[in-house]
Amino acid sequence: MADITWEEPFCAEGNNCFRIGTDPQGNAYIAVAGQEDRPLTDSREALRALIREIKAGKADHLL
């Protein structure tokens, strides 16, 4: 597995905790805390785009 630097878990009230990580090759990872061995992976730019879209309210319908 890549040399991933994981951020601290983000946990909403009573929900699963998610972790975001990056590696030296420019890849980004999202995983459920405790399941870092099975992450979703893409480029850092894709992760930036995802975060920007979420912050802009494009996922509010999921709430």
Using the 8-state DSSP alphabet, how is residue 60 labeled?
G
Question: Quick count: other Cβ atoms within 10 Å of Cβ 39?
Answer: 20
φ, ψ for residue 18 (rounded to 5)?
A: -110, 150
Q: Average pLDDT of 2-27?
A: 88
Q: Average pLDDT of 14-35?
A: 90
**Tokens found for residue 40:** 């979703």
Give the 3-state secondary structure of 1-44.
CCCCEECCCEECCCCCEEEEEECCCCEEEEEECCCCCCCEEEEH
Q: Does residue 36 surpass a pLDDT of 70?
A: yes
State pTM to two decimals.
Answer: 0.76
Q: Does residue 14 surpass a pLDDT of 70?
A: no
